[in-house]
Amino acid sequence: MKKILLCVAAVLLVGGVLLFAAGRAEQATTDDETITLTMFTYTDLTDSVDVANWEVLLEAFHELHPNIRFEIDHGFDEAYHTRLQAMSAAGRLPDIMFLWPDDRTGMVTASGQAKDLRPWLSGLEGEFAEIAMMPQGSNGEIYELPEQVTATHVMFTNERLLDELGLDFPRTHQELLAQGPVIREAGLIPIAMDNGGGWQMQSTFLSALVERTGGMEWYNRVLAGDNASFEDREFVAALDIIQDLYRNDMFSPGMNTADYGRALTDFVNERAVYFIDGGWRVNALVAELTEDQKGHVGLRTYPDVANQRGVSGSTAMVQGTGYGMNSRLEGAAADAAWEWIWFYSGPVGSEIRQRHGAVPAYRIDLPADADPMVTKLTGFINETPAGWVLDSVLGQESMGLLQGDLQEMMLGSRTPGQVAQRFERFVAANER
């Protein structure tokens, strides 16, 4: 598909791989005092929409700050995290990097390798959604400036297909299962999902189910180890739902080996009635759906489940991701890094990203001509109750174990009870 046109950045391509001297920011000895910074960014180079949006942001930043240039490397999905972890362990992080507000990139933030942004952010906190300004460090540190508030579970629904099949959105898990034969008979996929990376099932589905089956009071107690455990019936019940759906052929065929993006394509091409993913997928839907399609795509959450203890219609939500800077940066280099961080998540970048499907953490009015999908996602974020996202409250190693076990459970080599037992033992030994 594409190459990235980074004529607005100082890009070094060696053998098709972008390289940089990590942890370095140098000020060139030129009359315009050009500052060059290294950056590791989270971009899906196989997604033309993601690439196009990135180019727009870079060009707008360059127009405002022609003296700041970047040497950019790109990563995506687990490859990004694997490489960031290796850079962190080697002490060779770039000047600017894309970070999570929690343990997902804790190897960087917890080790003191990311700078606290509060000195630059002071007095601007009120311009962001309250959840975006939650502390990210034990002493109130803010290591990355959140780009948006993220709902990790959305059940995108093709309401026109439901209508044509004579179906309504199900009120319960059992009603959804009963729709499966009707949907498959029509040659369609009931629920489009891809889980080749492992994280998708955990982050975009299981996290929301755990709040449904257990409720937030239990959820908080199990995270603290306060007379609650992941071996409890509440957690096993959430796993049972996933296994139930898989055994009844409700998910995309081959989902556990599918690359991230196949399910999106199936939904856009109307080969699937439902599509479970995160709210960030609206970015792609803005560009890929026709105006007619946008009119009949609904943003919902999973229906009620048996013995539900959580809130009906709830999702899973987390303070958003964003850019942070290397703790080694000082002076003009640190100020230049902040210019990018503020541009991306502040008013200018937020307005650009909103036009392309984001719901920014920065408080910005929704324009009258906003894309219908952006309007729907904004309403969803503002109106939907939410619980924790598991990978925002537990570490990367715990998630690696759980995500692999979820795939094995669906394939029949582990039971929900065995998955719960292994997960509880690991969390008890390493997290609490």
What domains lie within the chain, and their CATH numbers? 13-148+320-362 (3.40.190.10), 152-317+390-430 (3.40.190.10)
Q: What pairs with residue 151 in β-bridges?
A: 317
pLDDT of residue 28 exceeding 50: no
Which tens digit of pLDDT belongs to each residue from 316-325? 998 889 999 9
Which tens digit of pLDDT belongs to each residue from 252-284? 999 999 999 999 999 999 999 999 999 999 989
pLDDT of residue 396 exceeding 90: no
Task: Give the residue-averaged pLDDT of 287-308.
Answer: 97
pLDDT of residue 8 exceeding 70: no
Q: Contact 393/411 with Cβ under 8 angstroms?
A: no
The pLDDT value given to residue 427: 96
Task: Give the residue-averaged pLDDT of 107-115.
Answer: 93
102 or 25: which leads in pLDDT = 102
Which tens digit of pLDDT belongs to each residue from 305-315? 999 999 999 99
The pLDDT value given to residue 32: 63
pTM: 0.76
Is residue 330 classed exposed, middle or buried when 0-12, 13-18 and 19+ CB atoms within 10 A define those classes? exposed
Cα(55)–Cα(129) distance, rounded to whole angstroms? 26
Cα(361)–Cα(366) distance, rounded to whole angstroms? 12
